[in-house]
Amino acid sequence: MAVTVSILQTGSIRIRPSQLTQSATRPVVLRRMRMLFGDRDWTPLLPINAYLIEHPDGPILVDTGESPHATERGWTPRWHPFFRRCVDIHVGPDEGIGSLLARRGMAAADLRAVVLTHLHHDHADGLGDVVGPPVLLAREHWDAFRRPFRATLEGALPKHWPPGFRPEILRTTGGRLGPWAKTYPLTADGRVVAVPTPGHVPGHLSVVVFGDAATYLVGGDVTYAQELLDRELTDGVNTRPRLAIEQLRRIKAFAAQEPIVLLPAHDPGAATRLAAGETFRPSSLRERD
Give domain limits for the chain.
4-280
**Predicted local distance difference test score (pLDDT) of residue 284:** 75
Q: How far apart are CA 261 and CA 266, in angstroms?
A: 15
Return the half-sphere exposure (C-beta side, CA atoms, 13 A cut-off) of residue 177: 25
For the entire predicted model, the pTM comes to 0.97
Q: Which fold has domain 4-280?
A: Metallo-beta-lactamase; Chain A (3.60.15)
**Predicted local distance difference test score (pLDDT) of residue 69:** 98
Contact 31, 22 (CB under 8 A): yes
Contact 118, 64 (CB under 8 A): no
Task: Dump pLDDT digits (tens) for 212-243.
Answer: 999 999 999 999 999 999 999 999 999 999 99
Instruction: Point out the residues of the chain with pLDDT beneath 50.
Output: 286-289
SS3 85: helix
**Predicted local distance difference test score (pLDDT) of residue 245:** 97
- Look at phi and psi of residue 73 and say left if phi exceeds 0, alpha if psi is from -120 to 50, else beta: beta
